[in-house]
Amino acid sequence: MLSESKVEANIPASDLKRAREFYSDKFGLTPTADIMGMNLRYQTSGGTAFNIYETQYAGQAGHTIAQWHVTDLESEVADLKAKGVQFEVYADMPGVEWREEIAVLPGLGKAAWLKDSEGNILCLDEEETPS
């Protein structure tokens, strides 16, 4: 059954070399496989994987396509900003309090959105810890 299967993200890139450099320089990631120069596979130490593949349709989705769950969102945002990453602010989200580029989602936690080198929307989030 699908409920017993693993799921992974496939992230489009119009320029695979540029995407590889972004994920290396900004996120500190190295592909675990390069499949025929058309698909990069990444494996995280957290036990998940994602692929970046070359296509002319990269960056066309107007929504989040991949999300990283982190334990210290402020630190991750600061680190990425220091590397030149710009974060998105979606001020039209009802019930969300913005603290600069970090959204505080009542009862859920915090999140921050950015675009990769290909225009794909990515999210970092930190779950709210129960009191």
State the average pLDDT over residues 69-97. Answer: 95
Count of beta carbons in the 10 Å neighbourhood of residue 127: 14
- Per residue in 52-82, pLDDT (tens digit) is 999 999 999 999 999 999 999 999 999 999 9
Confidence of residue 5 (pLDDT cuts 50, 70, 90): confident
Neighbouring C-alpha atoms within 13 Å toward the C-beta of 37: 0
The answer, yes or no, to whether residue 131 has pLDDT greater than 80, is no
Count of beta carbons in the 10 Å neighbourhood of residue 13: 25
pLDDT at 74: 97
- Say how many residues make up the chain: 131
State the average pLDDT over residues 114-129. Answer: 95
The CATH topology of domain 2-127 is 2,3-Dihydroxybiphenyl 1,2-Dioxygenase; domain 1 (3.10.180)
Can you tell me the distance from the alpha carbon of 24 to that of 8, in angstroms, rounded to the nearest whole number?
Answer: 19
**Reported pTM:** 0.92
